[in-house]
Amino acid sequence: MLWNNYFCLSWVNETRYLGTYIVAERELRCSVTHAKRSFHRSINAIFGKVERLASEKVTLQLAKNK
């Protein structure tokens, strides 16, 4: 932990900046794990609502617009 007069800064392994997760390593690295998880969550929600009622084209269009 690092203290200055007003703030306590703690060390973290990753941080989010402008929607991108930056990982603490020797070289700059960005993590796409959170983006993948969010994408799969959205697609599963669409499939859960639509199931087999809509055609493939409609389902893909919904996923594209989400």
pTM flag (> 0.75): no
What Rg value do the Cα atoms of the chain yield, rounded?
A: 19
Q: Tokens for 28? A: 């700059």
CA angle, 2 then 16 then 27, to 5°: 75
Q: Is 22 helix (H, G, I), strand (E, B) or coil?
A: strand
pLDDT at 44 over 80: yes
For the chain, what is the domain count?
A: 1
CA angle, 64 then 38 then 23, to 5°: 125
Structural domain for 36, as ranges: 2-65
For 18-39, write each residue's pLDDT tens digit.
Answer: 878 888 877 778 788 888 888 8
Residue 3's pLDDT band (cuts 50, 70, 90): low
